[in-house]
Structure 1
């Protein structure tokens, strides 16, 4: 298909894909659920990759959490093959986890996707859009999780590539319409039991109605601005942690001397390495009190781990 034959939305998607790639991305693997965003991404890759001599394929994960999920996965694979992508369906088992079913499904999905990408030596592409970015920023704001959470998702991070973070969900749907693709709408994406769904269906529309159009774009722009700051602070915190940590324990005197922005990051990274999960600001504050407001109090229980102070250092489980 000649580039001039592409519709406006499909061209926008293809241009976003092309702009995100580097010469090191010699093989591309699209993670596809069958939804509009990932189908549009697959179509963009199918247009861009052959023109640059890149290998390209797709993988569909079947979580097995809904009746008929296997057929949904097979249908997505057939659609992808119609676009010219070799498609592999991978079934995963979603184990119960402390973070809840949504987190467990995400962990299982990413583990499977990374395994396929590593086996093929391919860059793994995900279909997150600007709307997903805006939702992530609002959720981070509601949790009070700080600059890292508000910085949202990066286009390229941790071996993942998200070319469509500057593209709206409306554009991906329009792309599918232009190409005659019928995306699958995951029922979970309409279930108000999930906070992200409530943000999408209720919160963002109210914000746009009251503040005017362009809220998702502004939130995504905020994420971009904060990400550079968060990256710098995280790097400085990693250096600081090396200075205050010995044998897995943190020296409280050294921690207390750190600026608050670095101290909380050191604590958060340390707690996560110990196995803590679903941490929010009050969890970190409780541990920080062992450093700054020490009066002999007992250990702090967090999701997944207990930490305490002995002999002037913070220790995890022994």
Structure 2
């Protein structure tokens, strides 16, 4: 009997653990670019899902940004059909005209397509091939950019994406393991040139910063960064729970917030309350930054009769006596 290569076994175990927690019916869909990480994940899902009484399918997204992208997407879809995955779709998206840089625009278009495809097929979950190395890069980038705890928590193993569970089974699996699994399975992954393009910050971290840290501190630095994300995520969950209760306690019938209730909170909790309230008011999450929350906080802790705090989306929050007032309704 053939011996199963350890990297293949590790990835299958990771996928089994991720799928075991699903209760909804429907297939699981693997988001697959054809790279080593998502290709190894798709192969594992094709093996594991039927043994759990579930179908596994695949969706590959063609961003149209590189020559031959349509042919590559078609090749990934053809491989998936041959591997027994179903349903299988290759989806073309339009990246042009979206806000942000090309990387952010492509990511936004990709996830929109993934969610739409998952809904169309009644999928129980979407699976992506983010690895421990991706998590380490995410934490390092967040640290360099001065991100708060949410940024340092990295990518969660599970999150809701437009009503569809998004699972990342490979966050404890290394990129080296996915490449070794592909070699053991005789799979030929595609190497995305964007992953080594120094125009992208993540590519520079991957090619230069992380290898330098490994040389200086040893290979355990990758596990350490990923562990940091898990620990901070646990702290975030506890703080979010406290903030939810505090927001409920501070609410006023007119939609505002009671300043005495806010002032009594620890700064870490108060900041989360104000951030959550700003989102409720309609501030776009992608544009809501630390400085906006700090302006709201100043109305609570450093109010000297100053004017309103302005939030993204043209929202204006004022303080009157002991209450923060929501923006007036448009006339």
Asked if Structure 1 and Structure 2 have the same fold, meaning a TM-score greater than 0.5 normalized by the shorter chain, the answer is yes
Measure, in 2, the Cα distance between the counterparts of 1:248 and 1:61: 42
Measure, in 2, the Cα distance between the counterparts of 1:93 and 1:24: 34
The residue that corresponds to 1:275 in the other structure is 283
The residue that corresponds to 1:264 in the other structure is 271
Q: CA RMSD in A?
A: 2.3
Of residues 256-265 and 160-169 in structure 1, the stretch that sits farther from structure 2 once superposed is 256-265
1:1-318 → structure 2 map (5 Å cutoff): 4-22=2-20, 24=23, 26=25, 27-86=27-86, 87-94=88-95, 96-122=97-123, 123-158=125-160, 159-246=165-252, 247-273=254-280, 274-276=282-284, 277-301=286-310, 304-311=313-320, 312-316=323-327, 318=329
1:219-240 Cα shifts (integer Å, max 9, x gaps): 1111112211111111221222
Shift of 1:40: 0.6
Shift of 1:160: 0.9
The TM-score with structure 1 as length reference comes to: 0.90
1:198-231 Cα shifts (integer Å, max 9, x gaps): 2211211111111122111111111112211111
Measure, in 1, the Cα distance between the counterparts of 2:100 and 2:78: 33
Per chain length, whose mean CA-contact separation is higher, i.e. which structure has more relative contact order (CA < 8 Å, sep 6+)? 1
The TM-score with structure 2 as length reference comes to: 0.87
Measure, in 1, the Cα distance between the counterparts of 2:93 and 2:257: 38
Q: Is the 8 A contact 1:251 1:314 kept in 2?
A: no
Would you say how many aligned residue pairs link Structure 1 and Structure 2? 316
1:64-92 Cα shifts (integer Å, max 9, x gaps): 23333212211221222232223211122
Q: Is the 8 A contact 1:129 1:165 kept in 2?
A: yes
Of residues 121-130 and 245-254 in structure 1, the stretch that sits farther from structure 2 once superposed is 245-254
Measure, in 1, the Cα distance between the counterparts of 2:139 and 2:17: 24
Q: Which runs of 5+ in 1 are unaligned?
A: none
Shift of 1:106: 1.8
